[in-house]
Amino acid sequence: MSMHPTDVHSTNETKTPERRPITITRLQEKKVLGEAIVMVTAYDYPSATVVDEAGVDLVLVGDSAAMVVLGYPNTTPVSMDEMVMLSGAVRRGLKTAMLIGDMPFGSYEASNELAITNAQRFIKEAGCDAVKLERGGASAERAKAIVDAGIPVMGHIGLTPQSAVQLGGFRAQGRTAARAQGVIEEVLQLPEAGCFAIVL
């Protein structure tokens, strides 16, 4: 799933020795060994070549593209079509890092079917290895549906920008014992749903 044909990048020489593609198994191994996992966003071909050459493990085409690439005031307006276009460009610039597509606001909340259809677009049209979606609760059910459809899912709990208005703005979450318990309970739902990693 994180393998792609080597000849795709054969014209793209690097000075670094050949690295093996990052897999979910490798990430799990890193966690067990206590090796820090490095993740960064990228949004186009040149940024993808930069982060891949620098040797990061995970690359997220974040819905932050709405703000840093498209100039929207927050992350909610970015569309699936826009995310798929940007993700495809990033795919073409990566050799070894794992590529994760960020499911934008409105692309997964309404139903499991909608969530699966849009997650499949990231895989089939853009060549992503996995998708990420925000929040627990109903999102955990969507995450499970996508995982059951054969697509790896990364969860995201805490300050989830798509629901920043509900959270009362961009502010750190879980800063009292009671609220931190809430965050932990939400986090623990996601491996249950089959998520391979969690952003928080």
Q: Least distance (Å) from other proteins to the CB of residue 117? A: 25
Instruction: Say if CB 160 and CB 167 are below 8 A apart.
Output: yes
Q: Least distance (Å) from other proteins to the CB of residue 138? A: 20
> Distance between CA 148 and CA 2 in Å, rounded?
18
> Distance between CA 133 and CA 138 in Å, rounded?
11
Q: Least distance (Å) from other proteins to the CB of residue 40? A: 6
In the complex with other proteins, the residue whose CB is nearer, 150 or 191, is 191
DSSP 8-state symbol, 36: P
Q: Least distance (Å) from other proteins to the CB of residue 111? A: 25
Given the rule CB under 8 A, which of 15-23, 28-36, 109-117, 123-131 is the region that contacts other proteins? 28-36
Residue 98 interacts with other proteins (CB under 8 A)? Answer: no
Instruction: Say if CB 154 and CB 195 are below 8 A apart.
Output: yes
Residue 22 interacts with other proteins (CB under 8 A)? Answer: no
In this structure, the chain runs to a length of 200
- Nearest 5°: the CA angle 57, 28, 199 is 65
> Distance between CA 69 and CA 63 in Å, rounded?
10
Residue 42 interacts with other proteins (CB under 8 A)? Answer: yes
Residue 12 tokens, joined? 């793209």
Q: Least distance (Å) from other proteins to the CB of residue 5? A: 26
In the complex with other proteins, the residue whose CB is nearer, 68 or 110, is 68
In the complex with other proteins, the residue whose CB is nearer, 78 or 197, is 197
First-to-last CA distance in the chain?
25
Residue 130 tokens, joined? 């996995």
CA 88 to centroid of chain Cα atoms: 14
Site string for other proteins, 50-89 (x = CB under 8 A): -x-----xx-x-x-x---x---------------------
> Distance between CA 61 and CA 55 in Å, rounded?
16
In the complex with other proteins, the residue whose CB is nearer, 40 or 114, is 40
For other proteins, the binding residues (CB under 8 A) are 27-28, 30-31, 36-43, 47, 51, 57-58, 60, 62, 64, 68, 154, 158-159, 170, 172, 184, 187-188, 190-191, 195-200
